[in-house]
Amino acid sequence: MTQGIVRDDEFKTFEIEPGITFRYLPVSKWKTLSIDVFCKVPITRERVTALALIPRLARRGTVNLPTLRDLSRSLEQMYGASMNTDARKIGPVQVLRFGMDLPSPEFLDPAAFGTLDGVNLGKALSFVWDVVTRPYLENDAYPLDRFEVEREEHRRDILAIINNRPHYATVRLVEELSKGDPRGLPAWGILEDLDTLDPRKTWDIWRETLSRCSVSIYAVGEGAEECGEILTRSKLFFPEPRVSDRLWDIHEELEAPPLPPGILRSTEELPGEQTILCMAFYTGVTEKDPRLPALLFFDGILGGFPHSKLFRTVREREGLAYFADTVPNTWRGLVLAIAGLDGKKISSAEALILEQVDSMKRGEITREEIENTRAGLLRRYRSESDSQEALIRRFLTQEVLGGPASEEEIISGILKVTKDDIVEVSQKAELKAVYVLDARKGDG
Protein backbone atom coordinates (compact mmCIF):
# COMPACT_ATOMS: atom_id res chain seq x y z
CA MET A 1 0.00 0.00 0.00
CA THR A 2 1.30 3.42 -0.90
CA GLN A 3 1.17 5.68 2.12
CA GLY A 4 2.70 8.81 0.58
CA ILE A 5 0.21 11.53 -0.26
CA VAL A 6 0.86 13.83 -3.20
CA ARG A 7 -0.94 17.05 -3.93
CA ASP A 8 -3.08 17.14 -7.06
CA ASP A 9 -4.42 20.70 -7.26
CA GLU A 10 -6.89 20.96 -4.35
CA PHE A 11 -7.39 17.19 -4.46
CA LYS A 12 -4.99 14.88 -2.67
CA THR A 13 -4.43 11.39 -4.00
CA PHE A 14 -3.09 8.07 -2.80
CA GLU A 15 -3.21 4.48 -3.97
CA ILE A 16 -5.01 2.11 -1.62
CA GLU A 17 -3.85 -0.96 -3.53
CA PRO A 18 -2.99 -1.66 -7.18
CA GLY A 19 -5.82 -0.37 -9.35
CA ILE A 20 -7.66 1.41 -6.52
CA THR A 21 -7.10 5.13 -5.98
CA PHE A 22 -8.54 7.47 -3.37
CA ARG A 23 -8.85 11.18 -4.17
CA TYR A 24 -10.16 13.64 -1.63
CA LEU A 25 -10.87 17.32 -1.19
CA PRO A 26 -11.29 18.16 2.52
CA VAL A 27 -13.03 21.51 2.36
CA SER A 28 -15.92 22.78 4.46
CA LYS A 29 -17.70 25.00 1.91
CA TRP A 30 -20.50 22.43 1.50
CA LYS A 31 -22.92 21.14 4.09
CA THR A 32 -22.66 17.63 2.67
CA LEU A 33 -19.90 15.08 2.24
CA SER A 34 -19.98 13.38 -1.15
CA ILE A 35 -18.52 9.86 -1.43
CA ASP A 36 -18.39 8.21 -4.85
CA VAL A 37 -16.95 4.93 -6.11
CA PHE A 38 -16.23 4.83 -9.86
CA CYS A 39 -15.52 1.53 -11.62
CA LYS A 40 -13.83 2.22 -14.97
CA VAL A 41 -14.24 -0.44 -17.65
CA PRO A 42 -13.04 -0.61 -21.28
CA ILE A 43 -16.18 -0.84 -23.43
CA THR A 44 -16.90 -4.10 -25.23
CA ARG A 45 -20.10 -5.29 -26.90
CA GLU A 46 -20.08 -8.42 -24.72
CA ARG A 47 -20.42 -6.60 -21.40
CA VAL A 48 -21.58 -3.01 -21.98
CA THR A 49 -25.32 -3.75 -21.72
CA ALA A 50 -25.01 -6.03 -18.69
CA LEU A 51 -22.87 -3.46 -16.88
CA ALA A 52 -25.39 -0.73 -17.67
CA LEU A 53 -27.87 -2.70 -15.53
CA ILE A 54 -25.56 -2.98 -12.52
CA PRO A 55 -26.22 0.50 -11.01
CA ARG A 56 -29.95 -0.28 -11.10
CA LEU A 57 -29.59 -3.70 -9.51
CA ALA A 58 -27.19 -2.32 -6.90
CA ARG A 59 -29.94 -0.04 -5.58
CA ARG A 60 -32.22 -3.01 -4.82
CA GLY A 61 -30.35 -4.53 -1.88
CA THR A 62 -27.12 -5.85 -0.41
CA VAL A 63 -26.18 -8.94 1.58
CA ASN A 64 -26.59 -6.99 4.83
CA LEU A 65 -29.52 -4.83 3.64
CA PRO A 66 -31.47 -7.14 1.33
CA THR A 67 -34.51 -4.95 0.59
CA LEU A 68 -35.24 -1.41 -0.52
CA ARG A 69 -36.78 -0.77 2.89
CA ASP A 70 -33.59 -1.92 4.60
CA LEU A 71 -31.49 0.37 2.41
CA SER A 72 -33.78 3.33 3.04
CA ARG A 73 -33.78 2.76 6.79
CA SER A 74 -29.99 2.62 6.86
CA LEU A 75 -29.74 5.89 4.93
CA GLU A 76 -32.21 7.54 7.31
CA GLN A 77 -30.09 6.44 10.27
CA MET A 78 -27.15 8.28 8.69
CA TYR A 79 -29.01 11.58 9.21
CA GLY A 80 -30.92 11.40 5.95
CA ALA A 81 -28.10 10.41 3.60
CA SER A 82 -28.97 9.75 -0.05
CA MET A 83 -27.66 7.19 -2.55
CA ASN A 84 -26.99 7.67 -6.26
CA THR A 85 -25.90 5.20 -8.94
CA ASP A 86 -25.55 5.48 -12.70
CA ALA A 87 -23.60 4.42 -15.80
CA ARG A 88 -21.82 6.99 -17.94
CA LYS A 89 -19.12 7.12 -20.59
CA ILE A 90 -15.84 9.03 -20.70
CA GLY A 91 -14.08 8.58 -24.02
CA PRO A 92 -13.82 4.82 -24.67
CA VAL A 93 -14.48 3.92 -21.02
CA GLN A 94 -17.75 2.90 -19.38
CA VAL A 95 -17.86 4.35 -15.86
CA LEU A 96 -20.19 2.94 -13.22
CA ARG A 97 -20.84 5.27 -10.29
CA PHE A 98 -22.01 4.29 -6.82
CA GLY A 99 -22.27 7.23 -4.47
CA MET A 100 -23.89 8.82 -1.49
CA ASP A 101 -24.24 12.26 0.05
CA LEU A 102 -24.49 12.69 3.79
CA PRO A 103 -24.39 15.65 6.16
CA SER A 104 -20.89 16.91 6.85
CA PRO A 105 -19.50 15.55 10.13
CA GLU A 106 -19.20 19.08 11.52
CA PHE A 107 -23.01 19.07 11.74
CA LEU A 108 -23.05 15.72 13.57
CA ASP A 109 -22.02 14.31 16.95
CA PRO A 110 -18.17 14.10 16.98
CA ALA A 111 -18.40 10.82 18.88
CA ALA A 112 -19.96 9.26 15.79
CA PHE A 113 -16.62 8.91 13.96
CA GLY A 114 -15.33 5.36 13.88
CA THR A 115 -13.83 2.48 11.97
CA LEU A 116 -15.39 0.88 8.92
CA ASP A 117 -17.57 -1.11 11.29
CA GLY A 118 -18.63 1.97 13.19
CA VAL A 119 -21.19 4.60 12.37
CA ASN A 120 -21.43 7.65 10.13
CA LEU A 121 -18.16 7.90 8.13
CA GLY A 122 -17.20 4.28 8.63
CA LYS A 123 -20.78 3.17 8.19
CA ALA A 124 -21.14 5.32 5.08
CA LEU A 125 -18.04 3.85 3.45
CA SER A 126 -19.12 0.35 4.37
CA PHE A 127 -22.60 1.05 2.97
CA VAL A 128 -21.25 2.27 -0.38
CA TRP A 129 -18.74 -0.55 -0.71
CA ASP A 130 -21.41 -3.16 0.01
CA VAL A 131 -23.61 -1.61 -2.68
CA VAL A 132 -20.71 -2.05 -5.13
CA THR A 133 -19.44 -5.51 -4.20
CA ARG A 134 -22.03 -7.35 -2.07
CA PRO A 135 -25.40 -7.32 -3.85
CA TYR A 136 -28.21 -9.43 -2.51
CA LEU A 137 -28.18 -12.69 -4.49
CA GLU A 138 -30.21 -15.89 -4.64
CA ASN A 139 -28.35 -19.02 -5.75
CA ASP A 140 -25.40 -16.94 -6.95
CA ALA A 141 -27.56 -14.77 -9.19
CA TYR A 142 -29.65 -11.61 -8.95
CA PRO A 143 -33.23 -12.38 -7.84
CA LEU A 144 -35.25 -13.02 -11.00
CA ASP A 145 -38.14 -10.71 -10.10
CA ARG A 146 -35.80 -7.78 -9.39
CA PHE A 147 -33.76 -8.46 -12.50
CA GLU A 148 -36.80 -8.48 -14.78
CA VAL A 149 -38.17 -5.26 -13.29
CA GLU A 150 -34.86 -3.42 -13.66
CA ARG A 151 -34.28 -4.75 -17.16
CA GLU A 152 -37.67 -3.43 -18.28
CA GLU A 153 -37.03 -0.08 -16.58
CA HIS A 154 -33.73 0.13 -18.42
CA ARG A 155 -35.47 -0.72 -21.68
CA ARG A 156 -37.91 2.14 -21.12
CA ASP A 157 -35.05 4.51 -20.32
CA ILE A 158 -33.24 3.61 -23.54
CA LEU A 159 -36.42 4.29 -25.49
CA ALA A 160 -36.74 7.63 -23.68
CA ILE A 161 -33.19 8.49 -24.72
CA ILE A 162 -34.10 7.70 -28.31
CA ASN A 163 -37.00 10.13 -27.98
CA ASN A 164 -34.51 12.83 -26.93
CA ARG A 165 -33.76 13.34 -30.57
CA PRO A 166 -30.79 15.76 -30.40
CA HIS A 167 -28.94 13.62 -27.87
CA TYR A 168 -29.75 10.42 -29.72
CA ALA A 169 -28.52 11.94 -32.99
CA THR A 170 -25.12 12.82 -31.51
CA VAL A 171 -24.74 9.32 -30.08
CA ARG A 172 -25.70 7.69 -33.36
CA LEU A 173 -23.30 9.90 -35.30
CA VAL A 174 -20.39 8.80 -33.10
CA GLU A 175 -21.48 5.17 -33.55
CA GLU A 176 -21.50 5.60 -37.33
CA LEU A 177 -18.04 7.18 -37.25
CA SER A 178 -16.75 4.27 -35.16
CA LYS A 179 -17.56 1.74 -37.91
CA GLY A 180 -18.44 -1.11 -35.56
CA ASP A 181 -15.68 -0.38 -33.04
CA PRO A 182 -17.27 -1.11 -29.61
CA ARG A 183 -15.68 2.03 -28.16
CA GLY A 184 -18.32 3.97 -30.07
CA LEU A 185 -21.16 2.28 -28.17
CA PRO A 186 -23.19 4.30 -25.64
CA ALA A 187 -22.94 3.80 -21.88
CA TRP A 188 -26.48 2.41 -21.68
CA GLY A 189 -25.68 -0.50 -23.99
CA ILE A 190 -27.61 -2.05 -26.86
CA LEU A 191 -31.40 -2.30 -26.75
CA GLU A 192 -31.58 -5.65 -28.56
CA ASP A 193 -28.95 -7.16 -26.25
CA LEU A 194 -31.15 -6.78 -23.16
CA ASP A 195 -33.06 -9.97 -23.94
CA THR A 196 -29.83 -12.00 -24.11
CA LEU A 197 -29.11 -11.29 -20.45
CA ASP A 198 -30.24 -13.26 -17.41
CA PRO A 199 -29.66 -12.85 -13.66
CA ARG A 200 -26.72 -15.28 -13.44
CA LYS A 201 -24.92 -14.09 -16.58
CA THR A 202 -25.22 -10.48 -15.44
CA TRP A 203 -23.77 -11.25 -12.00
CA ASP A 204 -20.94 -13.29 -13.56
CA ILE A 205 -20.01 -10.34 -15.79
CA TRP A 206 -20.04 -7.93 -12.86
CA ARG A 207 -18.07 -10.28 -10.60
CA GLU A 208 -15.34 -10.66 -13.22
CA THR A 209 -15.38 -6.91 -13.91
CA LEU A 210 -14.81 -6.15 -10.21
CA SER A 211 -11.75 -8.40 -10.26
CA ARG A 212 -10.19 -6.52 -13.19
CA CYS A 213 -11.43 -2.91 -13.38
CA SER A 214 -9.66 0.16 -12.06
CA VAL A 215 -11.51 1.88 -9.22
CA SER A 216 -11.45 5.51 -8.13
CA ILE A 217 -12.95 6.51 -4.80
CA TYR A 218 -13.69 10.22 -4.35
CA ALA A 219 -14.60 12.06 -1.16
CA VAL A 220 -15.38 15.78 -1.31
CA GLY A 221 -16.35 17.87 1.70
CA GLU A 222 -15.72 18.02 5.43
CA GLY A 223 -14.69 14.55 6.58
CA ALA A 224 -13.04 13.56 3.29
CA GLU A 225 -9.59 13.15 4.88
CA GLU A 226 -11.03 10.96 7.63
CA CYS A 227 -12.51 8.73 4.90
CA GLY A 228 -8.98 8.16 3.62
CA GLU A 229 -7.74 7.26 7.10
CA ILE A 230 -10.52 4.70 7.43
CA LEU A 231 -9.78 3.21 4.01
CA THR A 232 -6.07 2.79 4.76
CA ARG A 233 -7.00 0.72 7.84
CA SER A 234 -9.49 -1.43 5.96
CA LYS A 235 -9.25 -4.45 3.71
CA LEU A 236 -11.63 -3.89 0.81
CA PHE A 237 -13.76 -6.90 -0.08
CA PHE A 238 -14.13 -8.23 -3.64
CA PRO A 239 -16.18 -11.26 -4.68
CA GLU A 240 -13.16 -12.54 -6.66
CA PRO A 241 -9.47 -11.92 -5.91
CA ARG A 242 -7.80 -9.09 -7.83
CA VAL A 243 -4.43 -9.92 -9.40
CA SER A 244 -2.29 -6.97 -10.50
CA ASP A 245 -1.22 -8.38 -13.86
CA ARG A 246 -4.86 -9.09 -14.82
CA LEU A 247 -6.15 -5.57 -14.21
CA TRP A 248 -7.41 -3.71 -17.28
CA ASP A 249 -5.46 -0.67 -18.38
CA ILE A 250 -8.06 1.90 -19.46
CA HIS A 251 -5.40 3.95 -21.21
CA GLU A 252 -4.51 1.20 -23.71
CA GLU A 253 -7.53 1.98 -25.88
CA LEU A 254 -7.42 5.78 -25.71
CA GLU A 255 -6.43 6.20 -29.34
CA ALA A 256 -9.70 6.83 -31.17
CA PRO A 257 -10.81 4.62 -34.07
CA PRO A 258 -9.65 5.98 -37.44
CA LEU A 259 -12.11 8.22 -39.23
CA PRO A 260 -13.41 7.11 -42.63
CA PRO A 261 -12.00 8.73 -45.76
CA GLY A 262 -14.18 11.42 -47.30
CA ILE A 263 -17.48 12.47 -45.74
CA LEU A 264 -19.67 9.80 -44.19
CA ARG A 265 -23.39 10.37 -44.77
CA SER A 266 -26.11 8.49 -42.94
CA THR A 267 -29.88 8.95 -42.64
CA GLU A 268 -32.14 7.24 -40.12
CA GLU A 269 -35.93 7.46 -40.21
CA LEU A 270 -37.70 8.01 -36.90
CA PRO A 271 -41.14 9.58 -36.40
CA GLY A 272 -41.08 12.91 -34.61
CA GLU A 273 -41.81 16.61 -34.79
CA GLN A 274 -38.32 17.69 -35.88
CA THR A 275 -35.68 16.38 -38.22
CA ILE A 276 -32.24 16.52 -36.58
CA LEU A 277 -29.18 17.42 -38.62
CA CYS A 278 -25.86 16.52 -36.99
CA MET A 279 -22.49 17.34 -38.57
CA ALA A 280 -19.11 16.19 -37.25
CA PHE A 281 -16.10 18.46 -37.73
CA TYR A 282 -12.72 16.89 -36.99
CA THR A 283 -10.12 19.21 -35.47
CA GLY A 284 -7.66 16.72 -34.03
CA VAL A 285 -7.66 18.65 -30.73
CA THR A 286 -8.23 16.25 -27.85
CA GLU A 287 -8.59 16.71 -24.09
CA LYS A 288 -4.85 16.62 -23.41
CA ASP A 289 -3.88 18.83 -26.37
CA PRO A 290 -2.44 22.22 -25.31
CA ARG A 291 -4.78 23.78 -27.89
CA LEU A 292 -7.85 22.62 -25.92
CA PRO A 293 -8.72 26.16 -24.70
CA ALA A 294 -8.74 27.38 -28.32
CA LEU A 295 -11.03 24.46 -29.24
CA LEU A 296 -13.44 25.57 -26.50
CA PHE A 297 -13.52 29.01 -28.13
CA PHE A 298 -14.11 27.48 -31.57
CA ASP A 299 -17.00 25.47 -30.15
CA GLY A 300 -18.40 28.42 -28.18
CA ILE A 301 -18.25 30.92 -31.05
CA LEU A 302 -19.65 28.43 -33.55
CA GLY A 303 -22.60 27.18 -31.51
CA GLY A 304 -22.04 26.85 -27.79
CA PHE A 305 -23.64 30.11 -26.58
CA PRO A 306 -26.64 32.34 -27.40
CA HIS A 307 -24.26 34.80 -29.09
CA SER A 308 -22.84 32.05 -31.34
CA LYS A 309 -22.84 32.12 -35.13
CA LEU A 310 -25.22 29.18 -35.52
CA PHE A 311 -27.77 30.68 -33.15
CA ARG A 312 -27.63 34.11 -34.78
CA THR A 313 -27.59 32.96 -38.41
CA VAL A 314 -29.11 29.50 -38.78
CA ARG A 315 -31.83 30.05 -36.19
CA GLU A 316 -32.45 33.79 -35.80
CA ARG A 317 -31.54 35.41 -39.13
CA GLU A 318 -32.43 32.68 -41.63
CA GLY A 319 -35.06 30.85 -39.58
CA LEU A 320 -33.81 27.47 -40.79
CA ALA A 321 -33.79 25.72 -37.42
CA TYR A 322 -35.81 25.49 -34.23
CA PHE A 323 -32.51 25.23 -32.37
CA ALA A 324 -28.82 25.14 -33.27
CA ASP A 325 -26.01 24.08 -30.98
CA THR A 326 -22.57 22.48 -30.85
CA VAL A 327 -21.08 19.77 -28.62
CA PRO A 328 -17.34 19.05 -28.35
CA ASN A 329 -16.12 15.46 -28.18
CA THR A 330 -12.63 15.89 -26.80
CA TRP A 331 -11.77 12.19 -26.92
CA ARG A 332 -12.30 12.03 -30.68
CA GLY A 333 -11.15 15.59 -31.43
CA LEU A 334 -14.58 16.44 -32.83
CA VAL A 335 -17.04 19.29 -32.64
CA LEU A 336 -20.61 18.23 -33.43
CA ALA A 337 -22.99 20.83 -34.86
CA ILE A 338 -26.66 20.01 -34.25
CA ALA A 339 -29.81 21.63 -35.59
CA GLY A 340 -33.49 20.76 -35.24
CA LEU A 341 -35.41 21.71 -38.36
CA ASP A 342 -38.07 21.05 -40.94
CA GLY A 343 -36.84 18.16 -43.07
CA LYS A 344 -37.24 20.23 -46.24
CA LYS A 345 -34.51 22.60 -45.03
CA ILE A 346 -31.71 20.07 -44.51
CA SER A 347 -29.61 21.11 -47.50
CA SER A 348 -29.95 24.83 -46.77
CA ALA A 349 -29.05 24.38 -43.10
CA GLU A 350 -26.06 22.18 -43.91
CA ALA A 351 -24.72 24.75 -46.37
CA LEU A 352 -25.18 27.58 -43.87
CA ILE A 353 -23.44 25.67 -41.07
CA LEU A 354 -20.52 24.98 -43.39
CA GLU A 355 -20.39 28.67 -44.27
CA GLN A 356 -20.11 29.61 -40.59
CA VAL A 357 -17.15 27.26 -40.14
CA ASP A 358 -15.54 28.60 -43.32
CA SER A 359 -15.99 32.17 -42.09
CA MET A 360 -14.08 31.30 -38.92
CA LYS A 361 -11.32 29.75 -41.02
CA ARG A 362 -11.06 33.09 -42.84
CA GLY A 363 -10.70 34.88 -39.51
CA GLU A 364 -14.16 36.46 -39.56
CA ILE A 365 -14.41 36.48 -35.79
CA THR A 366 -15.22 39.70 -33.97
CA ARG A 367 -13.67 40.90 -30.75
CA GLU A 368 -17.16 40.89 -29.24
CA GLU A 369 -17.62 37.20 -30.12
CA ILE A 370 -14.27 36.35 -28.55
CA GLU A 371 -14.85 38.28 -25.32
CA ASN A 372 -18.44 37.07 -24.93
CA THR A 373 -17.21 33.51 -25.35
CA ARG A 374 -14.36 34.08 -22.90
CA ALA A 375 -16.82 35.42 -20.33
CA GLY A 376 -19.16 32.48 -20.90
CA LEU A 377 -16.39 29.91 -20.52
CA LEU A 378 -15.08 31.58 -17.36
CA ARG A 379 -18.57 31.56 -15.82
CA ARG A 380 -19.00 27.90 -16.74
CA TYR A 381 -15.76 26.69 -15.20
CA ARG A 382 -15.90 28.94 -12.14
CA SER A 383 -19.40 27.73 -11.37
CA GLU A 384 -18.10 24.15 -11.34
CA SER A 385 -16.10 24.96 -8.22
CA ASP A 386 -19.41 25.42 -6.40
CA SER A 387 -20.56 21.89 -7.25
CA GLN A 388 -19.13 18.73 -5.73
CA GLU A 389 -20.47 16.68 -8.62
CA ALA A 390 -18.97 18.97 -11.28
CA LEU A 391 -15.57 19.00 -9.58
CA ILE A 392 -15.51 15.22 -9.38
CA ARG A 393 -16.63 14.90 -13.00
CA ARG A 394 -13.83 17.22 -14.16
CA PHE A 395 -11.10 15.34 -12.31
CA LEU A 396 -12.51 11.96 -13.34
CA THR A 397 -12.36 13.06 -16.98
CA GLN A 398 -8.75 14.08 -16.44
CA GLU A 399 -8.03 10.63 -14.96
CA VAL A 400 -9.27 8.93 -18.12
CA LEU A 401 -8.40 11.35 -20.93
CA GLY A 402 -5.64 13.50 -19.44
CA GLY A 403 -5.48 17.25 -19.89
CA PRO A 404 -6.12 20.06 -17.40
CA ALA A 405 -8.27 19.42 -14.36
CA SER A 406 -7.71 22.27 -11.94
CA GLU A 407 -9.74 25.45 -12.20
CA GLU A 408 -6.50 27.44 -12.23
CA GLU A 409 -5.12 25.54 -15.24
CA ILE A 410 -8.33 25.79 -17.22
CA ILE A 411 -8.99 29.46 -16.49
CA SER A 412 -5.37 30.37 -17.21
CA GLY A 413 -5.69 28.73 -20.62
CA ILE A 414 -8.98 30.51 -21.37
CA LEU A 415 -7.53 33.90 -20.45
CA LYS A 416 -4.57 33.42 -22.81
CA VAL A 417 -6.48 32.44 -25.97
CA THR A 418 -6.11 34.88 -28.88
CA LYS A 419 -7.92 35.29 -32.16
CA ASP A 420 -4.98 33.67 -33.95
CA ASP A 421 -5.31 30.61 -31.71
CA ILE A 422 -9.00 30.28 -32.58
CA VAL A 423 -8.39 30.70 -36.30
CA GLU A 424 -5.65 28.05 -36.17
CA VAL A 425 -8.05 25.50 -34.68
CA SER A 426 -10.84 26.59 -37.04
CA GLN A 427 -8.63 25.94 -40.05
CA LYS A 428 -8.18 22.36 -38.93
CA ALA A 429 -11.94 21.75 -38.78
CA GLU A 430 -12.81 19.23 -41.49
CA LEU A 431 -16.31 17.91 -42.13
CA LYS A 432 -16.17 14.14 -41.65
CA ALA A 433 -19.79 13.07 -41.23
CA VAL A 434 -23.37 14.18 -41.71
CA TYR A 435 -26.11 12.31 -39.87
CA VAL A 436 -29.80 13.02 -40.38
CA LEU A 437 -32.53 11.77 -38.05
CA ASP A 438 -35.37 12.20 -40.50
CA ALA A 439 -38.84 12.80 -39.08
CA ARG A 440 -40.52 13.15 -42.49
CA LYS A 441 -40.19 9.64 -43.86
CA GLY A 442 -40.86 8.09 -40.49
CA ASP A 443 -44.22 9.83 -40.32
CA GLY A 444 -45.33 8.09 -43.42
- pLDDT reported for residue 38: 98
Distance of CA 379 to the CA centre of its chain: 21
In this structure, are 411 and 358 located in the same domain? yes
Query: Is 256 a member of any domain?
Result: no
Question: CA 336 to CA 311: how far, in whole Å?
Answer: 14
* Residue ending a domain, choose from 180, 213, 246: 246
Q: What's the structural domain count of the chain?
A: 2
- pLDDT reported for residue 109: 58
* Residue ending a domain, choose from 246, 280, 304: 246
Question: CA 380 to CA 304: how far, in whole Å?
Answer: 12
Structural domain of residue 20, as residue ranges? 6-246
Please state whether the predicted TM-score (pTM) of the whole model is above 0.75: yes
In this structure, are 73 and 147 located in the same domain? yes
In this structure, are 280 and 237 located in the same domain? no
Query: Is 73 a member of any domain?
Result: yes
- pLDDT reported for residue 273: 86
Query: Is 347 a member of any domain?
Result: yes
- pLDDT reported for residue 114: 41
In this structure, are 278 and 241 located in the same domain? no
Answer yes or no: are the C-beta atoms of 350 and 434 closer than 8 Å.
yes
Alpha carbon distances (Å) from 220 to 3, 29, 348, 378, 397? 20, 10, 49, 23, 16
Query: Is 204 a member of any domain?
Result: yes
Cα four-point dihedral sign 10, 15, 19, 22 = negative
Q: Which residues pair with 99 in a beta bridge?
A: 36, 84
- pLDDT reported for residue 403: 84
In this structure, are 192 and 241 located in the same domain? yes
Query: Is 252 a member of any domain?
Result: no
Query: Is 251 a member of any domain?
Result: no
Question: CA 424 to CA 362: how far, in whole Å?
Answer: 10
Q: Which of 178, 187, 157, 154 is nearest to 38 (CA)?
A: 187
In this structure, are 220 and 73 located in the same domain? yes
Q: Which helix (H) or strand (E) holds 185?
A: none
In this structure, are 271 and 238 located in the same domain? no
In this structure, are 111 and 236 located in the same domain? yes
420 exposure class (CB count in 10 Å sphere: 0-12, 13-18, 19+): exposed
* Residue ending a domain, choose from 212, 246, 280: 246
- pLDDT reported for residue 113: 46
CATH number of the structural domain spanning residue 14:
3.30.830.10
Question: CA 372 to CA 306: how far, in whole Å?
Answer: 10
In this structure, are 310 and 381 located in the same domain? yes
What does the pLDDT profile of the chain (444 residues) look like in tens digits? 333 333 334 789 999 999 999 999 988 788 889 999 999 999 999 999 999 999 999 999 999 999 999 999 999 888 889 999 999 999 999 999 999 999 876 665 555 444 333 347 888 999 999 999 999 999 999 999 999 999 999 999 999 998 899 999 999 999 999 988 999 999 999 999 999 999 999 999 999 999 999 999 999 988 899 999 999 888 999 999 999 899 999 998 888 888 988 999 999 998 888 999 999 999 999 999 999 999 999 999 999 899 999 989 988 788 888 889 999 999 999 999 999 998 888 999 999 999 999 999 999 999 999 999 999 999 998 888 888 998 999 999 999 999 877 888 889 999 999 999 999 999 999 999 999 999 976 444
Answer yes or no: are the C-beta atoms of 132 and 58 closer than 8 Å.
yes
In this structure, are 344 and 234 located in the same domain? no
Q: Phi and psi dihedrals of 250, rounded to 5?
A: -70, -15
Q: Phi and psi dihedrals of 112, rounded to 5?
A: -80, -10
Query: Is 1 a member of any domain?
Result: no
In this structure, are 47 and 149 located in the same domain? yes
- pLDDT reported for residue 1: 35
- pLDDT reported for residue 105: 62
Q: Which residues pair with 41 in a beta bridge?
A: 94
In this structure, are 286 and 239 located in the same domain? no
Question: CA 125 to CA 134: how far, in whole Å?
Answer: 13
- pLDDT reported for residue 163: 87
Query: Is 29 a member of any domain?
Result: yes
